[in-house]
Amino acid sequence: MPKRSDRPDSPETGALEVKPPPAVAGGTAAIAATIAHVRHGPGLLRGARALLAMNQPNGFDCPGCAWPEPGAAERSAIEFCENGAKALAWEADRARADAAFFARHPVAELAVADELWLGQQGRLVEPMVLPAGGTHYQPISWDDAFAGIARAISALETPAQAAFYTSGRTSNEAAFLYQLFVRELGTNNLPDCSNLCHESSGVALKQAVGVGKGTVQLDDFDHADVILIIGQNPGTNHPRMMTTLQAAARRGCHIVAINPLPEAALTRFAHPQHPFEALEGGTAIASMHLPVSVGGDVALLKGVMKALIDEDARRHGHAVDYDFIRLHTEGFPAFLEALAAEPWDRLVDDSGIAQASMRELAALLAGTHRIIACWAMGLTQHEHAIANIQEVANLLLMRGALGRRGAGLCPVRGHSNVQGDRTMGIDHRPGPALLDALERRFGFAPPPAHGLDVVGTIEAMQAGRVRVLFALGGNFLSAAPDTDATAQALRGCALTVHVATKLNRAHVVTGREALLLPCLGRSEKDLQAGGPQFVTVEDSMGAVHASQGVLRPAGDGLRSEPAIVAGLAQAVLGERSRVRWSWLVEDYDRIRDDIAAVIPDFEDFNARVRSPGGFVLPNPVRELRFPTDSGRARFTVHPVPARGLAPGQLLLTTIRSHDQYNTTIYGLDDRYRGIRGGRRVVFMNEEDIRERALEPGMPVDLVSRFRGETRTVARFTVVAYPIPRGSAAAYFPEANPLVPLGRFAPGSRTPASKSIVIEVRRSTG
Ligand SMILES: Nc1nc2c(c(=O)[nH]1)N[C@H]1C(S)=C(S)[C@@H](COP(=O)(O)OP(=O)(O)OC[C@H]3O[C@@H](n4cnc5c(=O)[nH]c(N)nc54)[C@H](O)[C@@H]3O)O[C@H]1N2
Ligand SMILES: Nc1nc2c(c(=O)[nH]1)N[C@H]1C(S)=C(S)[C@@H](COP(=O)(O)OP(=O)(O)OC[C@H]3O[C@@H](n4cnc5c(=O)[nH]c(N)nc54)[C@H](O)[C@@H]3O)O[C@H]1N2
Ligand SMILES: [Mo]
């Protein structure tokens, strides 16, 4: 564990070590890491108490990923993973970034600190203000803070000059109140982390099958014959999914990893809670790994589908599910024609995968309908992200792998409530149904015009069209593309406000004035006038359940997110509001009654969420009802995207290490990739290193090229790694200055942070 230092300008030290990745992931190393992080943060006693309540029916939802918990009856006493424990340890930290801390460190000094250092300073415990022209953050009362925001918003020409960001940890209750406030104020400027994440999945699936969410339930994994894991690293980012995958592998299910990197946990995994497994060498997880080139998934999937057609001829019409296609889909003839016209060599060249491997996968898929396709950021963060996901949908449609047990689409969500936030109306492009329902319930007319997403907000700030940014959690600076441009945009604002648990770089690169509003974390007790409260969240598979913290809050001055939103709304809207804000937050059941009245499928919310394990939202696709215009699922045709690399260039993908949660850095190790003590590394193929006359360990600068613009990050260390030629990888957020603001997926506008065209140069000086 990196030690805390008192100096903000002491960036990560140069003790980088590179070793071969472990042969088996999980095991006792996971337990050792868990204990180290818990001891360091909350301490063992307090930490253990909280961890035993994590993901339990009467406890709180892990603030980590959105992977579902098993049904209430099947849950074990330990339903957390190593990285969930790190998230808890970080949140339940004993250290405090209090008024004395801010008095010691001027903002100019904090602005050079990195994310690791800022997070290590501990929990925010009182509201702080950076006045215009001020050098230090200083304490302010909640009332004065809200009054300041109200003043700044009323000084705008229109409410559309403010933007309201949400990060996906926000509860359903806070999210519902927040969108209600923003719409009553008169704008749909609700950018959220989903814009940077699974927006592409939502958009692509809505077009293809009519619903923008996944179609599988957890028990489908017990019945699948093939599970595809495409562009996802569950061993690090969804470790509880490994329990599911391990069980599937053991009963003979074929797991196929489609990933430029041979991620350790997808190779062999030993469950940390069963020490003997590690001794026995763990379980082999993926029976097939296709090391696709970065950005090569469309080519690969088309190759597999082309091979499936050949397989069908061999199997006399039994490899393609014609009955399903006839009954439930449209567009198959055009799709088939386009596929036939696709030359094999292009598919092989652009994917980096041999035709024989594509045929092998096709043969596997031809034998069963019980196919689940899981994916995450490896597919969603490309210019051609919609095509990536719709090719996955095409493949499942060809096999009739929807609406059956053990089959379906599974976009694996990131933040623990990002899916719920969207369900609650955090959406810059709200549909008329939501707006009508809000109007019916609250008696004001919400604005119909679409608002700004993340990229749109940054562009609007650059142009001076957005002057106030309010962020309910998250890290608007380091999570966004094009870090330098985003920093510039933030500095141009009149006011930036963050509701947060701990410091990050978005808090120290500020508008003319800035506010920090400290909130309760998931693990903490939430006491309101009406007594102790719980909140609710929705997991990646549409299950909605309660979450109630168990720890004493980090400070007396903290407020819950719903209470902060209500206080803000009251101050900004005052008498003109149709909503009884302070009455609502006295008892969150009142908020849930409003949700039940406005959001579809939440009837009787308060009663249903109190049953153990909560309830599952319906998904019509599971019953083979496709809410598209035609009532059918759609085959779609996409060209193979051009790789667009000039000689010497590489396609860089940005990935998470095992020691981070998005922009939150827990430590400098990435155990499963053999990296210790540093994050400024670039993973390259040995041949690509040699061809450039570089060597492992050498310092290099990475230069990104886009439409004649260049962006550079300096002094990264070369690491030789089994990654396909022409591809490279570096960590998010260190590589974010390279992501061009203007390069995103049309349709979802998700930045192409997994296909950045770069050149690698030896560092000078
Ligand atoms: N511990 C921990 N848990 C987390 C997070 C965290 O940071 N830490 N973040 C949360 C969030 S918000 C999210 S969205 C998820 C993210 O979860 P993931 O999507 O698993 O995270 P990433 O590290 O971005 O990487 C995705 C994987 O895609 C691969 N990949 C990269 N480019 C390509 C490509 O072009 N094609 C293919 N096929 N694969 C590619 C990478 O090698 C990597 O294995 O995890 C959530 N859970
Ligand atoms: N290059 C590149 N960029 C990426 C990605 C990538 O793969 N590559 N991934 C993208 C993805 S998938 C996502 S989801 C975004 C993430 O974008 P965000 O959600 O904006 O970022 P996080 O790092 O998750 O936010 C961390 C901050 O949230 C605050 N926080 C933590 N817990 C709480 C809480 O309970 N309440 C409140 N109010 N605040 C809290 C803390 O201040 C912490 O510093 O980043 C995106 N950016
Ligand atoms: Mo995400």
The pLDDT tens digits for 276-325 are 888 788 999 999 999 999 999 999 999 999 999 999 999 999 999 999 99
Section 384-403 average pLDDT:
98
For the CA of 658, the closest atom of ligand 1 is: 1
259 lines ligand 1 (CB under 6 A): yes
Compute the distance from residue 750 Cα to the ligand 1 centre, in Å. Answer: 14
The β-bridge partners of 255 are 227
Superfamily for the 199-411 domain = Dimethylsulfoxide Reductase, domain 2 (3.40.228.10)
For the CA of 664, the closest atom of ligand 2 is: 23
Distance CA 574, CA 715 (A): 52
Measured between alpha carbons, how far is residue 126 from residues 212, 293, 341, 368 in Å?
Answer: 39, 48, 63, 57
Compute the distance from residue 234 Cα to the ligand 3 centre, in Å. Answer: 13
Q: Would you call 386 helix, strand, or coil by DSSP?
A: helix
348 lines ligand 2 (CB under 6 A): no
The sheet with strand 25-26 has its strands ordered as 25-26, 268-270, 283-284
197 lines ligand 1 (CB under 6 A): yes
pLDDT on residue 12: 55
CATH class of 96-197+417-618: alpha beta
Give the rounded percent of residues in the chain with a pLDDT score beyond 90: 92
478 lines ligand 1 (CB under 6 A): no
Compute the distance from residue 230 Cα to the ligand 1 centre, in Å. Answer: 10
Q: Treating both helix axes as pointing N-terminal to C-terminal, what angle do 44-53 and 27-40 enclose, rounded to 10 degrees?
A: 120
Q: Best of 169, 515, 654 to mutate for ligand 2, by most ligand atoms within 8 A of CB?
A: 169
Q: Smallest Cα–Cα separation from 722: which of 293, 295, 382, 356?
A: 293
pLDDT on residue 369: 97
Question: What is the pairing mode between strands 268-270 and 283-284?
Answer: antiparallel
Measured between alpha carbons, how far is residue 433 from residues 12, 444, 626, 631 in Å?
Answer: 50, 15, 18, 19
474 lines ligand 1 (CB under 6 A): no
Q: Would you call 710 helix, strand, or coil by DSSP?
A: strand
pLDDT on residue 751: 98
pLDDT band for position 337 (cuts 50, 70, 90): very high
Q: Best of 86, 375, 475, 478 to mutate for ligand 2, by most ligand atoms within 8 A of CB?
A: 475
446 lines ligand 1 (CB under 6 A): no
Q: Whose CA is nearest to atom 16 of ligand 1?
A: 414
pLDDT on residue 89: 94
Compute the distance from residue 183 Cα to the ligand 2 centre, in Å. Answer: 24
Compute the distance from residue 497 Cα to the ligand 3 centre, in Å. Answer: 22
671 lines ligand 2 (CB under 6 A): no
Write out pLDDT tens, residues 408-466: 999 999 999 999 999 999 999 999 999 999 999 999 999 999 999 999 999 999 999 99
Distance CA 382, CA 727 (A): 14
Compute the distance from residue 655 Cα to the ligand 2 centre, in Å. Answer: 14
477 lines ligand 2 (CB under 6 A): no
Q: Best of 261, 496, 520, 662 to mutate for ligand 2, by most ligand atoms within 8 A of CB?
A: 662
| CATH architecture for the domain at 650-762 | Beta Barrel (2.40)
536 lines ligand 1 (CB under 6 A): no
Which helix (H) or strand (E) covers residue 681, if one does? strand 681-684
Written as six digits, the tokens of 619 are 């998904």
Compute the distance from residue 344 Cα to the ligand 1 centre, in Å. Answer: 29
For the CA of 375, the closest atom of ligand 1 is: 19
167 lines ligand 2 (CB under 6 A): yes
pLDDT on residue 14: 59
pLDDT on residue 70: 86
pLDDT band for position 170 (cuts 50, 70, 90): very high
Write out pLDDT tens, residues 191-203: 999 999 999 999 9
Compute the distance from residue 360 Cα to the ligand 1 centre, in Å. Answer: 26
Distance CA 565, CA 586 (A): 13
754 lines ligand 1 (CB under 6 A): yes
Compute the distance from residue 376 Cα to the ligand 1 centre, in Å. Answer: 6
pLDDT band for position 726 (cuts 50, 70, 90): very high
Q: Whose CA is nearest to atom 47 of ligand 2?
A: 479
For the CA of 736, the closest atom of ligand 2 is: 1
pLDDT on residue 65: 86
685 lines ligand 2 (CB under 6 A): no
65 lines ligand 1 (CB under 6 A): yes
For the CA of 754, the closest atom of ligand 1 is: 32
Angle ∠(85,91,92) on CA atoms, nearest 5: 85
pLDDT band for position 582 (cuts 50, 70, 90): very high
230 lines ligand 1 (CB under 6 A): yes
Compute the distance from residue 545 Cα to the ligand 3 centre, in Å. Answer: 20
The β-bridge partners of 761 are 701
Using a CB cutoff of 8 Å and minimum separation of 24, what contacts does 94-98 make? Answer: 94/41, 94/42, 94/43, 94/122, 95/4, 95/120, 95/121, 95/122, 95/123, 96/122, 96/123, 96/125, 96/554, 96/555, 97/121, 97/122, 97/123, 97/124, 97/125, 97/502, 97/503, 98/125, 98/126, 98/555
Is the pLDDT score of 633 beyond 60?
A: yes
For the CA of 418, the closest atom of ligand 2 is: 14
473 lines ligand 2 (CB under 6 A): yes
Compute the distance from residue 579 Cα to the ligand 2 centre, in Å. Answer: 30
Domains of the chain by residue range: 96-197+417-618, 199-411, 650-762
Section 231-253 average pLDDT:
96
Structural contact between residues 279 and 309, judged by C-beta atoms closer than 8 angstroms: no
Write out pLDDT tens, residues 68-110: 988 878 888 888 889 999 999 999 999 999 999 999 999 999 9
Tokens 């699974």: give the residue. Answer: 198
654 lines ligand 1 (CB under 6 A): no
Distance CA 412, CA 238 (A): 9
pLDDT band for position 735 (cuts 50, 70, 90): very high
Written as six digits, the tokens of 285 are 């997880």
351 lines ligand 1 (CB under 6 A): no
Q: Best of 229, 259, 389, 731 to mutate for ligand 1, by most ligand atoms within 8 A of CB?
A: 259
Report, in angstroms and rounded to the nearest whole number, the Rg of the chain calculated over CA atoms. 25
Q: Whose CA is nearest to atom 14 of ligand 1?
A: 414
Is the pLDDT score of 692 beyond 70?
A: yes
Tokens 């005052």: give the residue. Answer: 574
pLDDT on residue 691: 97
Compute the distance from residue 532 Cα to the ligand 2 centre, in Å. Answer: 28
Tokens 């000086």: give the residue. Answer: 765
Measured between alpha carbons, how far is residue 279 from residues 264, 270, 282, 284 in Å?
Answer: 17, 9, 7, 14
Written as six digits, the tokens of 679 are 């994050």
Q: Best of 233, 478, 504 to mutate for ligand 1, by most ligand atoms within 8 A of CB?
A: 233
Q: How many CA within 13 A on the CB side of residue 328?
A: 26
Is the pLDDT score of 248 beyond 80?
A: yes
Q: Whose CA is nearest to atom 18 of ligand 1?
A: 232
320 lines ligand 1 (CB under 6 A): no
Written as six digits, the tokens of 632 are 């059918």
Compute the distance from residue 152 Cα to the ligand 3 centre, in Å. Answer: 31
For the CA of 475, the closest atom of ligand 2 is: 20
Question: What is the pairing mode between strands 288-290 and 254-258?
Answer: parallel
Is the pLDDT score of 508 beyond 60?
A: yes
pLDDT on residue 10: 64
233 lines ligand 2 (CB under 6 A): no
Write out pLDDT tens, residues 6-31: 778 765 555 899 999 999 998 889 89
258 lines ligand 1 (CB under 6 A): yes
* Mean pLDDT, all residues of the chain: 96
pLDDT on residue 11: 58
Compute the distance from residue 461 Cα to the ligand 1 centre, in Å. Answer: 29
Q: Smallest Cα–Cα separation from 732: which of 679, 667, 670, 669?
A: 679
Which helix (H) or strand (E) covers residue 544, if one does? strand 543-547
Instruction: Name the phi and psi angles at 117, rounded to 5.
Output: -65, -45
User: What pTM does this model have?
Assistant: 0.97
Q: Best of 91, 170, 196 to mutate for ligand 2, by most ligand atoms within 8 A of CB?
A: 196
